């Protein structure tokens, strides 16, 4: 009898942002992660809001969810 084992699949998790993480547009602390197919971008709240529409149009997933909602 052959036993078939399955391994549960999990979604890769990203580490939480830390004080060392910086915005990709300025030296401010990163508050938002935008995950794109080609990689990720980190933004402060100001630049995250400024680029929000373009990020979503590019298919980015914004983490944490709702971070840019006022």
Give the residue extent of every domain in the chain.
20-70
CA distance 31 to 55: 15
Please give the DSSP secondary-structure letter assigned to residue 56.
Answer: H
Reported as type and span, the H/E element at residue 70 is none
pLDDT digits (tens, 9 = 90+) for 14-62: 889 999 999 999 999 999 999 999 999 999 999 999 999 999 999 999 9
How many CA atoms, within 13 angstroms, populate the side-chain half-sphere of residue 34?
25
Among 8-12, 29-33, 65-69, the range scoring the smallest mean pLDDT is 8-12
Provide the b/e sequence for 27-52 (b: ≥16 CB within 10 Å). eeebbbbbeeeeeebbbbbebbeebb
Take residue 52 and report the two structure tokens written for it.
């929000």
């Amino acid at each position: 009898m052959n036993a078939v084992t399955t391994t549960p699949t999990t979604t890769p998790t990203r580490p939480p942002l830390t004080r060392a993480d910086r915005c990709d547009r300025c030296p401010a602390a990163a508050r938002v992660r935008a995950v794109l197919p080609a990689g990720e971008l980190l933004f402060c709240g100001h630049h995250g809001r400024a680029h929000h529409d373009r990020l979503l149009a590019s298919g980015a997933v914004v983490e944490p969810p709702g971070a840019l909602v006022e």
